[in-house]
Amino acid sequence: MAIKQAQGPKALAGFGSAKCSNEEAWLFQKLVRTGFGSNNVDHCTRLCHASSVAALMECLGSGAVTASFMQALEADVVILTGCNPAVNHPVAATFFKQAAKQGTEIIILDPRGQALDAYATMSVRFTPGADVSLFNALLHVIIAEGLYNQAYIDAHTEGFEALKQSVAHSTPDAMSALCGVAPDTIREVARRYANAEKAMIFWGMGISQHTHGTDNARCLISLALACGHTGRPGTGLHPLRGQNNVQGASDAGLIPMVLPDYQPVGDSQLRAAFEELWNTPLSDEPGLTVVEVMNAIHAGEVRGMYILGENTAMSDPDLTHARAALGKLEHLVVQDLFITETAQFADVILPASAWPEKDGTVTNTNRQVQLGRAALPLPGEAKPDWWIIQEIANRFGLGWRYQHPQEVFAEMQQGMHSFNHISWERLARENSVTYPCPAEDAPGQDVVFSDAFPRAGGLAKFAPTRPLPPDEPVDDAYPTVLTTGRQLEHWHTGSMTRRAQVLDALEPEAVASLSPGELNRLGVAPGEKLTITTRRGTITLTARVDDKIPDGMVFVPFAYAEAAANLLTNPALDPYGKIPEFKYAACRLERAAVPQPH
């Protein structure tokens, strides 16, 4: 409050959580917008699918999936690209495996090999970061060979001519050198996808976490639109959501440029509806995104922060910069289950409670709104997040009196059309209801946009792209590609899973995975220590051999505080989604000079 009075509303910012409930996300963004008085609210979606959402909003008018992952069972062809579902989406992976057993062709497009390759009809490895050249070559083949669906394009889309022209020169032969895939393989993938009666595309962080992440997603959307592979059972576009409630937290408005349900803060009519609902004037200026907030702290513009259920001091790119920002804040409040690396910077730590300890709803990757009920008592002094947020709101003079998340949900229904016909009572009866839902007594829609897209005129749009290099290409000084991501055993920054005995016993220490050839070249044996250096930092960790990694690449999971991958990563942002390039940085590898003590 003192910072707000002295420096104005824009000196405060908040990061909400995709691990909390929809009601908690709603209250958090409402606190920032009505209490702090700005739109400086964001969360981990910025580091995750922000670019996918930017492309989907632009081209389809909606950021959610067009079909659930259960629809894979209906599809003839399923493309998986930039995702590793056996590790990161095990539930969806069971549907992909089941589909494959029933005859669905699985096509995997990824620089790395993975467990699902065993189920794939084709598994195509390509040059990291070369997605746009590969996808434009697929589009070229589909157009040159007349495999597109003219009737669908005429009825449901605009901009096909511009797309046609933009890929006219992206022949498989021309693109092969850029993406490292043989021209005939490109043709085969294009034909299998386009000739399928029903086909789906699923994608993950390998698509989104690039400075050209939005372009990558635009290409996938173009593929689906050109072939008419949306709006029917067994067809669709599905960016696999990561955190348990990142869909719900985004829908509920933990995003700096939009109010709940993606309603732009700058639209005075839409804003007026929320000003009436909350009985407060709202700022019309988009707020700062995750990485922008860190920059604004360095610039002295943001002075105080409230971070709820995010471990920024581990998950942000270029941690030296991000941690210095956290250290520079005049006041930092962290609300978490554990004393995380971020909490080490806090002036106040508020003990929150976990999912099994509280009531609330969450929305998963399939748009299924699910009700969770408290199953365990609150430990120690911990409180439900919604309760703590309300206490803070009342210190800002907001006078909130919610007795239970159910009352928050009822308020959300007034501001969010996506929750139409999904009452708390109904969720209590049915446990889970998919949105959009046409009536109180009808099921929700698993597949959407059969008739029209939620854009002007009901038409989806082709957005042409051209290949761009990574922000930091490899060179003689930094000749190896650093890519980062996840392991089955750990969740993100390890704040929870490294405290879980069994998981920590299975994966106890920081590892870097490399191909046998790469280890040979470096003269490092598996189990020996390796240093990785980028223009931003150096870490030392154990080398592991992995024949699924291509030569010229090193993979590091970001779960380990003692060798934090994000000390190395590049904070350069995609201009549309504002997502950093977690999947590509130039690095140098060396055998560690001194053996590190364990």
Ligand X SMILES: Nc1nc2c(c(=O)[nH]1)N[C@H]1C(S)=C(S)[C@@H](COP(=O)(O)OP(=O)(O)OC[C@H]3O[C@@H](n4cnc5c(=O)[nH]c(N)nc54)[C@H](O)[C@@H]3O)O[C@H]1N2
Binding site for ligand X (CB under 6 A): 17, 19-20, 44, 47-48, 81-84, 87-88, 109-112, 114, 128-129, 131, 204-207, 209, 242-243, 308-312, 315, 335-338, 340, 352, 354-355, 385, 483-486, 488, 490-493, 495-496, 558, 565-566, 569, 582-583
Contacts of 88 by beta carbon, 8 Å cutoff, 6+ apart: 204, 240, 242, 486, 488
Contacts of 49 by beta carbon, 8 Å cutoff, 6+ apart: 208, 239, 241, 242, 246
Distance CA 432, CA 366 (A): 11
Looking up tokens 């009075």 gives 5
Give the CA-trace dihedral at 508, 509, 515, 519, to 10 degrees.
Answer: -130
Residue 491 contact, options Mo ion, ligand X, none, Cβ 5-8 Å cut-off depending on partner type: ligand X
Q: How far is the CB of 177 from ligand X (least distance, A)?
A: 16
CB closer to Mo ion, 242 vs 557? 242
Distance CA 466, CA 111 (A): 20
Residue 4 contact, options Mo ion, ligand X, none, Cβ 5-8 Å cut-off depending on partner type: none
CB closer to Mo ion, 242 vs 304? 242
Distance CA 19, CA 355 (A): 8
Q: How far is the CB of 246 from Mo ion (least distance, A)?
A: 6
Q: How far is the CB of 268 from ligand X (least distance, A)?
A: 32
Residue 311 contact, options Mo ion, ligand X, none, Cβ 5-8 Å cut-off depending on partner type: ligand X
Q: How far is the CB of 456 from ligand X (least distance, A)?
A: 31
Q: How far is the CB of 283 from ligand X (least distance, A)?
A: 25
CA distances from 575 to 50, 303, 358, 533, 580 (A): 11, 25, 38, 26, 10
CB closer to ligand X, 68 vs 81? 81
Q: How far is the CB of 309 from ligand X (least distance, A)?
A: 3
Q: How far is the CB of 47 from ligand X (least distance, A)?
A: 4
CB closer to ligand X, 58 vs 131? 131
Distance CA 340, CA 346 (A): 10
CB closer to ligand X, 265 vs 362? 362
According to the 3-state scheme, what is the secondary structure of 289-303? CHHHHHHHHHCCCCC
Q: How far is the CB of 446 from ligand X (least distance, A)?
A: 22
CB closer to ligand X, 157 vs 566? 566
Distance CA 12, CA 6 (A): 11
Residue 10 contact, options Mo ion, ligand X, none, Cβ 5-8 Å cut-off depending on partner type: none
CB closer to Mo ion, 48 vs 293? 48
Residue 352 contact, options ligand X, Mo ion, none, Cβ 5-8 Å cut-off depending on partner type: ligand X
Contact residues toward Mo ion (CB under 5 A) are 48, 242
What single letter denotes the amino acid at residue 115?
A
Q: How far is the CB of 243 from Mo ion (least distance, A)?
A: 6
**Closest residue by beta carbon to Mo ion:** 242
Alpha helix ranges (H) inside 245-338: 246-251, 268-278, 290-298, 312-315, 319-328
Distance CA 333, CA 346 (A): 6
Distance CA 56, CA 220 (A): 10
CB closer to ligand X, 180 vs 436? 180
Cβ burial, residue 376 (10 Å; 0-12/13-18/19+)? exposed
CB closer to Mo ion, 153 vs 290? 290
Distance CA 41, CA 97 (A): 39
The structure tokens listed for 326 are: 């956290």
CB closer to ligand X, 6 vs 182? 182
Query: Nearest 5 degrees, angle CA 448-CA 452-CA 453?
Result: 75
Residue 486 contact, options Mo ion, ligand X, none, Cβ 5-8 Å cut-off depending on partner type: ligand X
CB closer to ligand X, 33 vs 492? 492
Distance CA 164, CA 73 (A): 32
Q: How far is the CB of 250 from Mo ion (least distance, A)?
A: 11
Q: How far is the CB of 85 from ligand X (least distance, A)?
A: 6
DSSP state for residue 32 in the 8-state scheme: I
Residue 570 contact, options ligand X, Mo ion, none, Cβ 5-8 Å cut-off depending on partner type: none
Helices 213-227 and 183-195 pack at an angle, to 10 degrees, of 50
Query: Residue 248, SS3?
Result: helix
* Contact assessment for residue 548 and residue 516, using Cβ atoms and an 8 Å cutoff: no
Q: Residue 34: left if φ>0, alpha if ψ -120 to 50, beta else—which one?
A: alpha
Residue 565 contact, options Mo ion, ligand X, none, Cβ 5-8 Å cut-off depending on partner type: ligand X
